Amino acid sequence: MALDRIDLADIHAPERLAARLHAQLGPVTTAVPVVEIARGLDISEVRIDRFDGFEGMLLTDRVRSDGVILANCRYGHQRARFTIAHELGHFLLERHEVSSETGFRCTPRDMRETREGRRELRQEAEANRFAIELLAPPAMFDRHLSRDPDLQDAQHLRRALDLSREACIRRMVERRDEPLAAIWSQEGRVRYSIRGDAFPYLALNKNDPLPKISQAFKVVSKGDRGITTFRETHAAAWTRRPEIEMFEQTRVGRDGHAVTLLWADLPPDADEEDDGGLPELGAPGFR
Percent of the chain surpassing pLDDT 90: 76
Cβ atoms 125, 118 nearer than 8 A: no
pTM: 0.84
pLDDT band at 100 (very low <50, low <70, confident <90, very high): low
Domain ranges for the chain: 6-135, 179-265
The model's pLDDT over 241-283, given as tens digits with 9 standing for 90+, comes to 999 999 999 999 999 999 999 999 998 765 444 544 433 333 3
C-alpha 186/C-alpha 259 separation (Å) is 9
C-alpha 192/C-alpha 200 separation (Å) is 16
| pLDDT (0 to 100) of residue 273 | 47
| pLDDT (0 to 100) of residue 286 | 30
The model's pLDDT over 16-65, given as tens digits with 9 standing for 90+, comes to 999 999 999 999 999 999 999 999 999 999 999 999 988 999 999 888 88
Specify whether domain 6-135 bears CATH 1.10.10.2910. Answer: yes
Q: Counting beta carbons within 10 angstroms of the beta carbon of residue 242, is it exposed (0 to 12), middle (13 to 18) or buried (19 or more)?
A: exposed
Specify whether domain 179-265 bears CATH 3.30.450.20. Answer: yes
Q: How many residues does the chain have?
A: 287
